[in-house]
Amino acid sequence: MTKLFAYLSYRDAPKGIAWMEAIGFDLVTRADAGDGVVSHAELRLGEAVVMAASADADYEVPPLRGRSTGGGIYLLVDDVDVAHAAALAAGGSEVFPPETTEWGTARSRVLDPEGHEWSFGTYEPGAGW
């Protein structure tokens, strides 16, 4: 069996976790090391799981160039408008608003408060066109 899970490091992990909770994720587990340092956290939204932790080095998140940082998280959602609005209300920055793709699905993109790229869409990767 093979599964894929994302992980993100945050300078302010409690803030990153709170942002994910604000867009609908539930905190499954969290281990704190003290002084605001999160050793490990897991958040779930449906079948999507993201692991998060406090950055253990001075990592640089790639800058936005045009409409992308070059990589990010893609979250399959039922309603792109709702997900996008929640992400902005929680402190995310808009990259592009909800739009209809040339293949007939919806998508949008935001940066979370630390610049990680999140895309919301109705297209399910792996299902084919």
Half-sphere exposure of 9 (CA within 13 A, CB side): 10
Three-state secondary-structure class, residue 13: helix
Domain CATH number, residue 104: 3.10.180.10
Domain identity same for 50 and 87: no
Total number of domains in the chain: 2
State the pTM of this model. 0.94
Give me the domain span that covers residue 29.
6-54
pLDDT per position as a tens digit, 22-52: 999 999 999 999 888 999 999 999 999 999 9
CA nearest 6: which of 112, 129, 127, 87? 112
d(CA 61, CA 116): 7
